[in-house]
Amino acid sequence: MGAYDAEIESLAAAGRAALVREIDAEGTWAADPVWRKAFAEVPRHLFVPYYYVAGRRGYERRWGESADPEDRERWVRGVYADVPLATRLRDGELLSSSSQPSLMARMLVALCVTDGDRVLEVGAGTGYNAALLTHRLGDGDLVTTVDLDPEIAESARGHLAAAGYRPVVVTGDGARGVPERAPFDRVIATCELATVPRAWLAQCRPGARILTPLATGLAALTLRDPERAEGHFLPTPAYFVPLRGEGRVKPEEVSLAGLPGRAREQELFRFLLALTRGTLTAQEAYVLWEREGEPSRERYGVTVTPERTWAWLDDPVGPYAWPLPGQSQSPVLP
């Protein structure tokens, strides 16, 4: 090992240890401490050889092969900071990122992985999350990660190989799943979707758990039978790059004019707006939000059936339910 490699490895080891201590302090993996070992051992810097930092003059590129030792140190310290990292841009648009590690930890714990589970990851990104899953399961054949962009998929495959992990990396539309690798016991998406693709249900075993970003939250669903999945949102907010392909999110501007400042500033109110986009006006959402005592994320849920997919408050058959995008039924208004 050369002096450069020794320097990077030393900084990376210190960075991983500090990151693990930071996530430790949140109590994130108390329910499943095996993930602590994965975060302590999987070298994130091998998955993020460069990333972009927003500055006054646009994005600044930081990379590990810089000739300047100070630049290399900034790069590796940034890699192990508990922040999301922009890893791929095109014409100023963010195409891919490495998620905030503490959020990844919360999601992996919430996925409730057990030994021998077959896992589908939608959104390969840098490959880091797939490496953590492979480390946890100890067998690359149990992990399948899919990405629509061939360049992103190939880059993730290279990062994984460099780090010594061999999950199956597929190029394809994640909204369609990967039927040739089914059945799955767990599905985790690392990109925002507008709805829960029904194709995932058909590729899962009964009792499978599906964890996916919707609106600005994380829906954790259980496959009740081959045609029905249901569950609540986790308490944590979550912001991800939108999925491209069939399940892509189409942002819609919602006017907040006329609403009290308290509502405009509340993240939980914005979550309700995002969840009911296209079905409730901002004023209708505010009336519901205020009437129901500013409900937390855990009170909301999602149900998927062959006929329809809908979000709801408190009860799937209660008075408040809204179709997710692609549905034709009328919403129940407050």
Over the stretch 231-269, which tens digit does the pLDDT of each residue have?
999 999 998 888 765 545 555 555 666 677 777 778 899
5, 47, 49, 76, 124 from 64: Cα distances, Å: 10, 11, 6, 7, 21
Catalytic residue, chosen from 96, 97, 99, 155, is 96
Comparing C-alpha atoms, which of 327, 89, 129 is closest to residue 213? Answer: 129
Distance CA 324, CA 331 (A): 10
Comparing C-alpha atoms, which of 200, 157, 206, 169 is closest to residue 182? Answer: 200
Distance CA 226, CA 236 (A): 28
The CATH architecture annotation of domain 3-232 reads 3-Layer(aba) Sandwich (3.40)
Which residues contact residue 232 at a Cβ distance below 8 angstroms, ignoring those fewer than 6 apart?
219, 220, 298, 299, 300, 301
Residue 332: pLDDT band with limits 50, 70, 90 = very low
Which residues contact residue 19 at a Cβ distance below 8 angstroms, ignoring those fewer than 6 apart?
39, 80, 81, 82, 101
> How much is the pLDDT for 188?
98
First vs last Cα of the chain: how many Å apart? Answer: 65
Residue 254 one-letter amino acid: V
DSSP 2: -
> How much is the pLDDT for 67?
83
Distance CA 208, CA 225 (A): 9
Global pTM reads 0.91
Residue 155: pLDDT band with limits 50, 70, 90 = very high
Tell me, yes or no, if 96 is annotated catalytic: yes
Comparing C-alpha atoms, which of 303, 82, 84 is closest to residue 214? Answer: 303
State both tokens at 112. 């409730």
> How much is the pLDDT for 331?
39
Residue 213: pLDDT band with limits 50, 70, 90 = very high
Distance CA 91, CA 126 (A): 20
Cα angle: 244, vertex 223, 209; to 5 degrees? 65
Residue 275: pLDDT band with limits 50, 70, 90 = very high
DSSP 247: T
State what percent of residues in the chain have pLDDT above 70: 91
What distance lies between CA 93 and its chain's CA centroid? 18
204-214 and 143-147: which strand pairing?
A: unpaired
Range(s) of the chain covered by CATH 3.40.50.150? 3-232
Question: Order of strands across the sheet with 58-63?
Answer: 58-63, 50-55, 85-90, 93-98
10, 20, 156, 278 from 274: Cα distances, Å: 43, 32, 30, 9
Residue 197: burial class (beta carbons within 10 Å; 0-12, 13-18, 19+): buried
What distance lies between CA 254 and its chain's CA centroid? 24
Segment holding 302, helix H or strand E: strand 300-304
Phi, psi of 134 (to 5 degrees): -65, -40
204-214 and 184-189: which strand pairing?
A: parallel
Distance CA 76, CA 79 (A): 5
> How much is the pLDDT for 253?
56
18, 185, 220 from 302: Cα distances, Å: 37, 19, 9
> How much is the pLDDT for 57?
73
